[in-house]
Amino acid sequence: MNLHTALLQGQQLLDDARISAPRLTAEVLLAHAIGCERSWLYAHSDEELREVWWIHYGRYLHERMQGKPTQYITGRQEFYGRDFLVTPAVLIPRPETEHSVEAALALGADASAILDIGTGSGAIGVTLSLETRARVICTDVSEAAVLVAAKNARRLGSSAQFVVCDLGSAFASRAFDLVVCNPPYVPGAGQENVQREVRDFEPHIAVFGGSDGLDVYRRLIPEAARLLKPGGRLIMEIGWLAADQVGAMLGEWTNVEIKPDLAGIPRVIVATHP
């Protein structure tokens, strides 16, 4: 069997299993099995599939057909142009979260201290530390997640620092110019309707935000008010139906702004410490 045939067979298996983007997924998994770039597959499409490649490729296809996300199989996900390591201990970084980074870069150009709460893989905090001159500290309640984030920081040459704690409880008041957070915001009450890749494989603590999806916001907003310097900014990613509810929680905060993603869906809410 050559690589071209292996790709066709993998695509068919994934398509039959109703996996989205079956061709792309087959290419990614075969490239991962071989240890090459996807472009190499096309330059060597007539090359015979070695037995060890087939063994790994078959296992990866089986895992994906069972619902395991491709990123947890390959252990990688691109975010803001950089390659991040991911494990089942962390949420897979999404492209829409880059809107939070862009908001932070626009508002925090002169920030000296930035706090990334619930860092997960470190996607937001590590990116901000590489894109700004600020001291960036990242927290997560999960020690396993912090270990992944710290490894990403070392790999990418980031100076971000990491602390295991609940929200920002390890820090003194008025310590930061910017607080950024992508909290869990999927309502737990309807989790049976959530895509199985998310429901069955991603860490629930990073996905579900209580029965209505707002539990972390209720704690995060007063915590950010304590942590931010006067005039500091809070940037939060929000669920697509939560803009009004989260906005109402901001009370006396000023300059509240809701930023949509490329699809026009409310994605990021920004507010200034009163």
Give the range of the structural domain holding residue 33, as residue numbers without chain letter: 3-66
Asked if residue 71 belongs to a domain, the reply is no
pLDDT at residue 245 greater than cutoff 90: yes
Residues 127 and 244 placed together within one structural domain of the fold: yes
Residue 190: the pLDDT is 82
Residues 52 and 121 placed together within one structural domain of the fold: no
Number of domains in the chain: 2
Of the residues 20, 35, 66, which one is the last residue of a structural domain?
66
Instruction: List all residues 6 or more positions away from 270 whose beta carbon is below 8 Å from its beta carbon.
Output: 103, 107, 233, 234, 235, 255, 256, 257, 258, 259
pLDDT at residue 246 greater than cutoff 90: yes
Query: Each residue of 212-239: pLDDT tens digit?
Result: 999 999 999 999 999 999 999 999 999 9
Q: What is the average pLDDT score of the chain? A: 96
CA–CA separation, 223 and 232 (whole Å): 13
Q: Give me the mean pLDDT over the 169-183 stretch.
A: 97
pLDDT at residue 129 greater than cutoff 90: yes
Tell me the CA distances in angstroms from 159 to 107, 127, 134, 153, one per residue in order. 21, 10, 10, 7
CATH classification at residue 215: 3.40.50.150
Query: Each residue of 40-69: pLDDT tens digit?
Result: 999 999 999 999 999 999 999 999 999 999
Residues 55 and 85 placed together within one structural domain of the fold: no
Residue 109: the pLDDT is 85
